[in-house]
């Protein structure tokens, strides 16, 4: 039995490409981890100097996840361990950068989620978080972001944007800025006006009342 040359070439070439993308994404994720840790330290120092009572915490949650807490908010950064390619209809695929070398369209992904800090502190399992941005990184460490407002509008030039410590700091700062400005709104009255006896017995506030920044509003359809 012999290996078909074209098949072996395909397997080794594709696996090598995906390994390079994974390594570039993991290095980028570690840069996010270190940068976030340093930023939180600066906030903590300023908090102490000005004698303010604001909570700033960095927490490692494993090789592919960490969180930062500031005031009443929490950001979770998660790296997906798999490599993805964009669909043919995605705008990225129309760029000259991808047309010159289609392998550049293979990317790793880092997700940035926003939750209320109290949702974890008080174990409110029904509370909602939001994906405010996802960072795509290819083997050449070119990147772009799909996201909300500060994130999605500022970092979308895949052709020329290279990930480095400065760009990572800018992304983390923008994520914090967006989160601070993304306020908790009162849910519509009609959505919480009726409560069952069972819900009240089982701790209405903790388990049954869903809290989220845009509960009852169409966050997914926001364009700003």
CB atoms within 10 A of CB 198: 9
**DSSP codes of every residue in 43-101:** HHHHHHHTT----EEEEE-STTEEEEEETTEEEEEEE-SS-EE--TTSGGGGSHHHHH-
Q: Give per-residue burial for 98-135: e unless 16+ CB within 10 Å, then b.
A: beeeebbbbbbbbbbbbbbbebbeeebeebbbbbbbbb
Residues of the chain with confidence (pLDDT) below 70: 149-155, 184-187, 191-193, 195-224
**DSSP codes of every residue in 16-50:** HHHHHHHHHHHHHHHHHHHHHHHHHHHHHHHHHHT
Residue with tokens 């480095």: 164
CA distances from 218 to 148, 175, 198 (A): 13, 20, 29
Please state the pTM of the whole predicted model.
Answer: 0.84
């Amino acid at each position: 039995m012999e290996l078909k040359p074209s098949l072996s070439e395909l397997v080794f070439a594709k696996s090598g490409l995906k390994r390079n993308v994974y390594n570039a994404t993991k290095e980028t994720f570690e840069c996010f981890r270190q940068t976030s840790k340093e930023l939180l330290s600066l906030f903590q120092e300023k908090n102490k100097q000005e004698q303010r009572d604001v909570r700033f915490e960095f927490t490692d949650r494993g090789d592919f996840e960490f969180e930062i807490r500031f005031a009443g908010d929490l950001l979770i950064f998660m790296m997906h361990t798999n490599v993805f390619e964009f669909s043919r209809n995605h705008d990225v695929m129309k760029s000259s950068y991808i047309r010159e070398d289609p392998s550049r369209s293979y990317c790793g992904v880092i997700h940035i989620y926003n939750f209320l800090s109290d949702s974890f502190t008080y174990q409110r399992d029904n509370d909602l978080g939001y994906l405010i941005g996802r960072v795509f990184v290819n083997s050449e460490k070119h990147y772009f972001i799909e996201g909300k407002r500060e994130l999605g509008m500022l970092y979308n030039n895949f052709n020329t944007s290279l990930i480095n410590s400065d760009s990572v700091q800018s992304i983390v700062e923008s994520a914090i800025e967006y989160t601070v400005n993304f306020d908790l709104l009162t849910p519509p009255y009609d959505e919480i006006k009726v409560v069952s006896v069972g819900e009240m017995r089982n701790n209405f506030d903790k388990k049954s009342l869903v809290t989220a920044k845009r509960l009852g509003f169409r966050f997914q359809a926001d364009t700003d």
